[in-house]
């Protein structure tokens, strides 16, 4: 070793010793001179240039940095019972902050099933008062290991409504206590609370107090389980702040961050699969385990089917079969392929084959299948995300990957005389993915969205079980969102849905020229398209608003142009009642005529009236209670009077703001709701009419060949 190196090492050693001494002094000072118990703490945080994944404690009047995302929420109180020096990285039962929480079994299952949805967010806040212990960390829901009850909340978007700032807020209640919760009442104190409109529960406000009681279907929370609810919440503040929360009178640990919308379903799936594994182990011991099925045989097309004779086309506002017979598409939505379940939701309690048969037996001739572009691209790349279902109930699925399970569903649909419509419900696989404004996100580009459609259309081009593609579910966005909002004009802007819809339609039809393509609307359209054709105005008064996907006013000025494929185009608005959201046209009472005048006609019915193209109401439905039932009755009258094509929302019991045709066991049908919808299912001479020329629809239906043209 030369002298130069010796000197360098000596200097480094001296620096290390000095640093160690300084660190010891700082620690001793901090332990002795930190905030005293019960003393207000104005600020205790890292320097402004510290990494954003470090923790922050803030109390009193806290102002968030301007660049902080809106879903980074701060819990504020006047005093801190726990001394600052007592906080530790690693966490404990007293509510100290941890930067790397260790997931429990439920979280591990959720992460394994849904890794694409895990997000890490920067800030964390801890506050404790004399009467309750409130811990706030910013993380994905379900990651907290705190004992007792945990409330996680997060915002997903915001907009201005006069002097009130509105936020979309998701809540998740996790039961980490030792006992099951049979029913629940959640009480929260929210600073500046002004108004609320919620789902998956009953919401009441009094001053700054928000009280939520469970719905009929989500009252029970097992140990380690969770339930979700949400709302549009208005506050007279810069952000949403939950100061404290109790569940059934017991203080909750409050976690501010991103709510994982799939955690509840994934936890249920994990619980079911664990039980199924135990059952299978027992079966092994009893030598009763079912042998693997012949997957190839199960995916073989129905012998009675004639490939290629069921394609449809349009003429004016009519949809016709190959012989020019007018048909009526009367279907139902069944979601799950978009949520992270990677198959249909509900198969944790039910079986696929009997459920598909029941849909056909009940007279629905079409199933709209919400799916994500991400999942289709996974399949295209040879990746098969795990399908979550009850392994013991659906043993025939255990030998299949998730794509094979989908193909098996198609074979079941065909055998029962059912047709299928693929709905790109979201770009990303996420139960809340439809909240994204457009067909692409940071994770799924526009080109990847188009690639997903191209792959699917090409793969199934010789299978006329899939007769239609809904190109994108509910494009939307508000004026203030600018280029991030879906618009409709004659430009080639990246956010122009009309332009992208044409590209998407031609992508599908280029692979399979036989299918129908559904084009939904947007949320906004300019009142004066000539002066505001580029949507530069951010003034709400300059726009017509409607439901997401429900504004098709732009068709009058800029109709979708598909050239030689124009007879494959169907416009597909969505429409809902006041229990989903109290739109202006519901206020002060409404009638069939007022709905036609204030909403339906100018937004989309004129397309039918002018014989421009057929309409298919892609989503409509809701609870069979007032004030929604009156709207349901009027919508049913509209559909029945004009034989509008439709797919009812939905089959699933777990649709929070509408309910479903199936009850919570995903097997028992809600006879009241079904009998209501039955009036607008295609029937002739007491039989349901299918869309297959050779295979009758279920046990109570006939083939399209046996039916007469729609009258």
Supply the residues annotated as catalytic.
Answer: 474, 619
- Reduced to 3 states (helix: H, G, I; strand: E, B; else coil), residue 195 is strand
CB 439 within 8 A of CB 427: yes
Return the number of other C-beta atoms located less than 10 Å from residue 528's C-beta: 10
CB 657 within 8 A of CB 200: yes
Which among 611, 555, 74, 108 has a CA at the least distance from the CA of 314?
Answer: 611
User: CA-to-CA distance for 60 and 255, rounded, in angstroms?
Assistant: 18
Residue written as token pair 């006329």: 464
CB 647 within 8 A of CB 368: yes
User: CA-to-CA distance for 630 and 648, rounded, in angstroms?
Assistant: 16
| Backbone angles phi and psi of 63, in degrees to 5 | -115, 125
User: CA-to-CA distance for 131 and 135, rounded, in angstroms?
Assistant: 13
User: CA-to-CA distance for 311 and 328, rounded, in angstroms?
Assistant: 14
Run of H or E residues at 153: strand 148-161
The contacts of residue 395 (CB under 8 Å, 6+ apart) are: 290, 293
Run of H or E residues at 226: strand 226-235
| Backbone angles phi and psi of 155, in degrees to 5 | -100, 150
- β-partners of residue 166 are 159, 234
Which among 605, 591, 682, 597 has a CA at the least distance from the CA of 634?
Answer: 591
Both tokens of 328, joined, read 């009526």
User: CA-to-CA distance for 573 and 601, rounded, in angstroms?
Assistant: 12
Run of H or E residues at 34: none
Which among 127, 122, 116 has a CA at the least distance from the CA of 79?
Answer: 127
- Reduced to 3 states (helix: H, G, I; strand: E, B; else coil), residue 607 is helix
Alpha-carbon radius of gyration of the chain: 28
H helices of 34-173, in order, are 105-113
Residue 378 zone, left/alpha/beta (φ > 0; ψ -120 to 50; rest): alpha
Contacts 24+ apart (CB under 8 A), 681-685: 681/330, 681/362, 681/363, 681/364, 681/365, 682/327, 682/328, 682/330, 682/363, 682/365, 682/710, 683/363, 684/708
User: CA-to-CA distance for 338 and 360, rounded, in angstroms?
Assistant: 22
Q: What is the b/e burial string over 685-699, where b = at least 16 CB atoms within 10 angstroms of the residue's CB?
A: eebbbbbbbbbbbbe
Which among 335, 337, 378, 315 has a CA at the least distance from the CA of 614?
Answer: 315
Residue 449 has, within 13 A of its CA and on its CB side, a CA count of 25
Start-to-end Cα distance in the chain: 99
User: What is the DSSP-derived secondary structure letter of residue 345?
Assistant: T
């Amino acid at each position: 070793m030369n002298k130069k190196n010796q000197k360098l090492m000596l200097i480094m050693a001296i620096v290390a010793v000095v640093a160690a001494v300084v660190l010891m002094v700082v620690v001793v000072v901090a332990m002795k001179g930190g905030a005293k118990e019960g003393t207000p703490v104005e600020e205790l945080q890292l320097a402004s240039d510290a990494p954003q994944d470090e923790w922050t404690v803030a109390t009193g009047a806290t102002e968030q940095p301007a660049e902080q995302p809106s879903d980074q929420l701060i819990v504020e109180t006047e005093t801190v019972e726990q001394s600052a020096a007592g906080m530790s990285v690693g966490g404990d039962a007293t509510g100290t902050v941890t930067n790397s929480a260790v997931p429990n079994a439920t979280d591990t299952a959720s992460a394994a099933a849904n890794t694409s949805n895990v997000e890490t967010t920067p800030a964390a806040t801890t506050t404790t008062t004399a009467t309750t212990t409130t811990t706030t960390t910013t993380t994905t829901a379900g990651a907290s290991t705190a004992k007792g009850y945990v409330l996680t909340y997060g915002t997903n978007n915001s907009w201005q409504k006069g002097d009130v700032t509105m936020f979309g807020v998701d809540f998740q209640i996790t039961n980490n206590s030792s006992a099951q919760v049979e029913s629940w009442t959640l009480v929260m104190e929210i600073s500046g609370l002004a108004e609320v409109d919620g789902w998956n529960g009953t919401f009441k406000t009094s001053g700054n107090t928000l009280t939520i009681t469970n719905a009929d279907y989500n009252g029970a929370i097992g140990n380690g389980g969770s339930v979700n609810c949400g709302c549009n919440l208005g506050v007279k503040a810069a952000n949403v702040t939950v100061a404290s929360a109790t569940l059934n009178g017991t203080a909750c640990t409050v976690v501010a961050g991103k709510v994982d919308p799939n955690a509840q379903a994934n936890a249920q799936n994990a619980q079911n699969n664990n039980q199924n594994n135990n059952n299978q182990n027992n079966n092994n011991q009893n030598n009763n385990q079912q042998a693997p099925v012949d997957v190839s045989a199960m995916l073989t097309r129905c012998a009675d089917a004639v490939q290629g004779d069921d394609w449809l086309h349009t003429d004016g506002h009519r949809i016709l079969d190959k012989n020019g017979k007018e048909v009526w598409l009367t279907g139902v939505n069944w979601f799950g392929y978009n949520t992270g379940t990677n198959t249909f939701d509900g198969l944790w309690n039910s079986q696929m084959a009997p459920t598909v048969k029941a849909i056909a037996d009940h007279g629905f001739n079409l199933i709209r299948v919400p799916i994500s572009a991400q999942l289709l691209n996974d399949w295209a790349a040879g990746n098969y995300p795990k399908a979550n279902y009850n392994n013991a109930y659906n043993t025939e699925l255990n030998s299949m990957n998730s794509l094979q399970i989908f193909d098996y569903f198609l074979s079941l649909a065909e055998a029962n005389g059912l047709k299928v419509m693929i709905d790109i419900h979201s770009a990303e696989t996420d139960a809340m993915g439809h909240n994204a404004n457009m067909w692409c996100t940071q994770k799924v580009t526009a080109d990847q969205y188009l690639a997903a459609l191209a792959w699917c259309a090409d793969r199934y081009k010789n299978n006329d079980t899939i007769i239609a593609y809904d190109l994108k579910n509910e494009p939307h966005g508000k004026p203030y969102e600018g280029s991030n909002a879906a618009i409709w004009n004659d430009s080639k802007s990246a956010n122009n849905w009309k332009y992208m819809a044409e590209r998407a339609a031609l992508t599908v039809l280029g692979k399979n020229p036989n299918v129908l393509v559904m084009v939904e609307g947007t949320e906004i359209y300019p009142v004066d398209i000539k002066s505001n054709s580029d949507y530069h105005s951010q003034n709400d008064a300059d726009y017509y608003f409607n439901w997401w996907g429900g504004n098709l006013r732009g068709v009058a000025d800029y109709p979708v142009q598909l050239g030689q494929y124009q007879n494959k185009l169907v416009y597909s608005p969505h429409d809902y009642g006041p229990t989903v959201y109290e739109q202006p046209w519901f206020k002060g009472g409404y009638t069939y005529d007022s709905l036609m005048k204030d909403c339906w006609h100018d937004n989309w019915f004129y397309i039918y009236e002018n014989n421009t193209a057929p309409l298919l109401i892609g989503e409509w439905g809701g609870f069979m209670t007032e004030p929604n039932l009156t709207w349901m009755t009027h919508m049913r009258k509209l559909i029945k009077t004009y034989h509008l094509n439709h797919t009812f929302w939905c089959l699933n019991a777990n649709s929070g703001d509408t309910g479903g045709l199936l009850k919570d066991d995903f097997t028992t049908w809600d006879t009241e709701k079904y009998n209501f919808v039955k009036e607008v299912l295609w029937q002739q001479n007491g039989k349901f009419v299918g869309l297959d020329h050779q295979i009758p629809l279920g046990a109570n239906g006939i083939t399209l060949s046996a039916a007469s043209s729609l009258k």
